[in-house]
Amino acid sequence: MVFASLGFTWSGHLTHIRLESSLPKHLEGIDLLITGVIDGLPSNGTQGLRLSIAVEQVVQEDGQEIDLKNFPKRLALGWYPGWRGEIELPEIKPGQRWKLPVRLKRPHGLMNPHGFDFERWMFQQNLGANGSIRASAKGLPREWKPQLLNDFVAGFTSYVELTRWHLRERIKSAAPDGARYVGVLIALVMGEQNAIAQNDWRVFNATGIGHLISISGLHVTMLAGMAASLANRLWRTSALPLLCPAQKVGALSGFLVAFVYTWLAGFQIPAQRTMYMVGVVAFAMWTGRITRAFDIWWWALFIVLLLDPWAAYTPGFWLSFGAVAAILFAMPSEDGLSEYGYSQKRKWWESFKEASRVQAVVTIALLPLTLFWFSQVSIVSPLANAFAIPLVSFIVTPFAMLGAVLPEPFNGWSLWLAHSCMELVAWFLNPMSAWPWSVGYLKQPAIWVLILLTLGVILAIRPGELTKTYKSRLLGLACCLPLLLSYNPALKQGEYRVTVLDIGQGTAVLVETSQHNMLYDTGPKTSPDSDAGERNVLPFLRGQGISYIDRLAISHKDTDHVGGGLSLLKEIRFGDLIGTLPEWHFLLKRTKELKMPSLPCQAGQEWWWDGVLFKVWHPGPEMSFSSMHHYGKPNALSCVIEVRNQAYSFWLTGDVERGGEISIANRYKPSSELASILLIPHHGSATSSSSDFLDAIQPHWAVVQAGYRNRYRHPNSKVVQRYVEREIPILETVHTGAQVWEFRGRELWKSHWRDLQRRSWHQ
């Protein structure tokens, strides 16, 4: 209890220190001139340059200097070439001191169930704000142009990050021309994964080898072991062992190499864990202590959490420490295979069995953690890892490391061999990842299921002879069966649930009845390589255990409503599509390829699912997919759907504008027994939410899906005033995160995901 209290106190102290340096709200969105040192590895993406900077000075436009006590110590910045590439981006290196004009905003991410928590990641990385560099902004003083002040500022972090930068550039220049997997080679050498294509990540994750494409403990152990062995041998060649035992020198050398490489690898948690374990062994050897394997593991765990309490919020922490703990627990505590009494063939066979058991133990042991963090498990992982582990660990990684340090032309030859071997691995994995059953997607387990599953795993992997204990081990594996059950509060006839996702500047809403579901819009496309369908909607659906959706409703063709459609059609099965799209639209073409029924959205359409009415109010009954109907503004054609039971109705409105609203208002007959929730049209634009429409619908609550500090300034202040005058509460996903509305008979249950996360954070 005392140690737990000390841990909470220490974590709270460090948290308080970081929160003190948060960006003040009044500095959001204004021009600032910052001076600082590049303290991280810059990365080039499809949209521009990303970098982190340690702040030394901040000046406002009026020349007033800001006190750094109330300002973030580190910033994450983007430097973009402009819409037409009119800005030529400079070469940024770690250690440089720059003076930069910027606009900043407080860390704010989309907050959805099973989604990535950007704010927590920023906090863990000690990044107090993010923003953009205003290289070509008009109206700024001339002296506010970006300016390189010093080419290098000495410091430990600067030396480490600059060395990493040189290693990355050396690998890029020496790799074969057009090498597709040069990003993988960089990741294996120094932990920088930004250059790996998303399609390659899908293959690696689907086949369960994602853990290999990073700095793993095996890499650190391999280098530390080689260094210890070499130092041991060299020390023995003279009378030096009389001064200090060779074993101690070897242990110290191994730790020093592990320490240096861990920093060059970006100080990732798996590398940290191995470095500390090597350090504990070296310390024990120098002090004449005998340590057990789990003592070493516990000390490494203690040091990681002491230095970085927020590491526990990352999957890498749990997967790394969990895999090692499982191996230490499950494998026999014997001294290993005897050098005598076995033939060479028998030794190979015993080694193969031991390696197979280690792989099986890790696969089974990490099942609860994998499902909790990613809601999926790779079925082909054992086969893929059996092929990939030897090649990646003993050929690709060593030769990639040699290619980073050897002189020319030997570095080119090493990288060619490493890349060729990686191509062989990819050749083997690509077909496997395409198998329909290669990945199993399951609902994120509830806490009680996670506990039961963990107990079953312990029973299944415990040490002992397999042939004598297989029955109890099978019983342990049977604890996985609750994963196949649904633990969402079941919806009854006439009940429905609406999940309004925090999707940024766009729309995506899931409607569920007891036996059916409908997805209304798919969110925006955020970049050429990324969209909300893949980044936000799909993780939510996977985490909820949803692999089939009865109906995809598309309000209209604007990118912020249809941008994630193709990504979802690749991963989720849909029954049919309803929407207002022109016949040439890419989404309709894809539905035809999938032989998926499609029908235009027309006023007057109705369907009943499990006692819940779905009614289309707009556009008119003459609407079709024909291009003749799709002229002018797409917003005017928005598909408006009302979802209703006996007590509540939820309005899905897309971007319908004033003309469509008046048409609906003229036909709608309000009921005093019906409480309405309105998804505010067009994210709160001034062209929507007309007074006639609000007076006709008479909503009891209003919901806004809009981006944080979006450039359209949605919701419009005049629109907000109309709702305020009618005493209609407005709930913005920017402030609430995802909203879950459950309509059970005449009862309404609602929850906001951001509030739930804050509650769990404080607990």
Are 739 and 500 contacting, i.e. CB atoms less than 8 angstroms apart?
Answer: yes
12 within a domain of the structure (yes/no): no
Among 555, 551, 533, 688, smallest CA distance to 634 is for 555
Residues 59 and 36: their CA atoms lie apart, in Å, by: 12
9 within a domain of the structure (yes/no): no
161 within a domain of the structure (yes/no): no
- pLDDT score recorded for residue 761: 35
679 within a domain of the structure (yes/no): yes
Here the contacts of 666-675 (C-beta below 8 Å, separation 24 or greater) are 666/696, 667/617, 668/617, 668/696, 668/697, 670/696, 670/697, 670/698, 673/646, 673/647, 674/644, 674/647, 674/648, 674/649, 675/647, 675/648, 675/649, 675/700, 675/748
The domain in which residue 70 lies consists of: 20-153
Same domain as 482, residue 397 = no
Same domain as 323, residue 236 = yes
Instruction: Give the CATH number of the domain where residue 53 resides.
Output: 2.40.50
- pLDDT score recorded for residue 335: 47
Residues 677 and 741: their CA atoms lie apart, in Å, by: 10
658 within a domain of the structure (yes/no): yes
Same domain as 729, residue 677 = yes
**Residue at a domain's end among 428, 458, 487:** 487
**The Cα angle at residue 495 between residues 494 and 499, in degrees rounded to 5:** 145
- pLDDT score recorded for residue 85: 56
Residues 44 and 193: their CA atoms lie apart, in Å, by: 12
Same domain as 110, residue 187 = no
- pLDDT score recorded for residue 20: 79
Query: How many domains does the chain contain in total?
Result: 4
Same domain as 364, residue 271 = no
2 within a domain of the structure (yes/no): no
Q: Is the dihedral of CA 216, 218, 219, 225 positive or negative?
A: positive
Residue type, 532: A
Q: What does the chain come to in residues?
A: 763
Same domain as 397, residue 482 = no
Strands 701-704 and 675-679: parallel
15 within a domain of the structure (yes/no): no
Same domain as 575, residue 477 = no
Contacts for 485 with CB less than 8 Å, ≥ 6 apart: none
User: If the chain, 763 residues long, is cut into consecutive pieces of 10 residues, what is the mean pLDDT of each piece?
Assistant: 76 78 90 95 85 95 88 94 70 95 94 93 92 82 88 93 92 91 91 85 89 78 88 85 86 92 86 91 88 89 91 89 90 53 69 77 86 88 88 90 90 95 95 88 84 88 82 83 67 96 97 97 89 95 93 96 96 96 94 96 96 96 89 91 96 96 93 92 96 96 95 94 96 96 93 72 32
Q: DSSP 3-state helix, strand, coil percentages of the chain (rounded to 5)? A: 50, 15, 35
Looking at 98-245, list the stretches that DSSP marks H as alpha helix, in order from N- to C-terminal side: 118-124, 156-174, 182-190, 198-206, 217-235
Same domain as 135, residue 239 = no
Residues 414 and 302: their CA atoms lie apart, in Å, by: 38
Locate the DSSP E strands across 336-411.
Answer: 376-378
Instruction: Give the CATH number of the domain where residue 754 resides.
Output: 3.60.15.10
262 within a domain of the structure (yes/no): yes
Same domain as 353, residue 287 = no
Residues 172 and 184: their CA atoms lie apart, in Å, by: 11
**Residue at a domain's end among 107, 130, 153:** 153
**Residue at a domain's end among 153, 183, 217:** 153
Same domain as 533, residue 667 = yes
Same domain as 279, residue 205 = yes
- pLDDT score recorded for residue 763: 29
Same domain as 176, residue 131 = no
